[in-house]
Amino acid sequence: MNPTLFAPGSAKSVAHRGLSGLYPENSVEAFREAAKLPYFGIETDVDVTADGHFVLMHDHTTGRTGDRDLPVRESTLAALSEVRLLGKDGLPREDLRVPMLRDYLDICREGDKVCVLELKVRFTEDEVARILAEVDAAGCRDRMIYISFFMENLEHLRKLRPDCTVQFLISQWTEELLPTLIEKKMDLDIHYGALDEEKVRAVLSAGLTLNVWTVDDPAVAEKLAAWGVHQITTNILLGE
């Protein structure tokens, strides 16, 4: 089974939580399968355990995607490693455990993919520094896009690594959004439903990179691509 194709124009497709339309989200399997296909990048969510290890999980707890419900930030890596991720049939799989950040970075590097890394929670500056150190150790410094709903995470990144690429995640368009991003020299990753063609033109005219999430309808993807968005984050689509 393959992802649904769409005509992307110049837009680049980003696999949301790996190829999550076909494989368990934020799993090594989803990352590996996405890496086999001509995606521009692979997106995932990073959180930190109680004992300071960086793991990949969208939710604050493991209950929706795993066979037991543990709070990520209050659990040790050893405890989280016991969680079996659920397959697409809803059954636990012995071969799928909560991945670590390094697992994902290695897969992206080996597959020559851009890492679109969402800082899922509010991180301290020290934690951000340690994420950057892991990125460097994996040889991925030059293939990173960092995204976050928390502006302070992006500000930590820019303080520690002024030349890094960051995109501010947001679900709604606001009047102050574009002036703020222009001032801070940050790009935009926004829910596609918040956009119209005029807003897209405004972002592009400001010279910002525009990523949209999460688009699974080929007709919507083609419309956005025609408007000129740069990146389309998707669970199941793949640009032809």
| 88-224-22 Cα angle (round to 5) | 10
Q: Are 70 and 79 in contact (CB under 8 A)?
A: yes
The arithmetic mean of pLDDT across residues 130-149, rounded, is 98
User: How do residues 63-110 score in pLDDT, each as one tens digit?
Assistant: 999 999 999 999 999 999 999 999 999 999 999 999 999 999 999 999
Amino acid at 54: F
Ordered structural domains, the chain, with CATH:
4-61+99-239 (3.20.20.190)
- pLDDT value of residue 1: 65
Question: Residue 134 burial (CB < 10 Å; 0-12/13-18/19+)?
Answer: middle
User: How do residues 158-192 score in pLDDT, each as one tens digit?
Assistant: 999 999 999 999 999 999 999 999 999 999 999 99
Is this prediction's pTM over 0.75? yes
d(CA 80, CA 66): 10
- Give the list of residues 6+ apart from residue 61 with CB closer than 8 angstroms, or none: 69, 70, 71, 72
d(CA 199, CA 229): 11
d(CA 83, CA 27): 12
Q: Are 74 and 6 in contact (CB under 8 A)?
A: no
Instruction: Give the percent of the chain with pLDDT over 70.
Output: 99
Closest CA to 13 of 45, 44, 33, 37: 37
- pLDDT value of residue 15: 97
- pLDDT value of residue 4: 78
- Give 2's pLDDT tier (boundaries 50, 70, 90): confident
Phi, psi dihedrals of residue 173, rounded to the nearest 5°: -80, 135
User: How do residues 15-70 score in pLDDT, each as one tens digit?
Assistant: 999 999 999 999 999 999 999 999 999 999 999 999 999 999 999 999 999 999 99
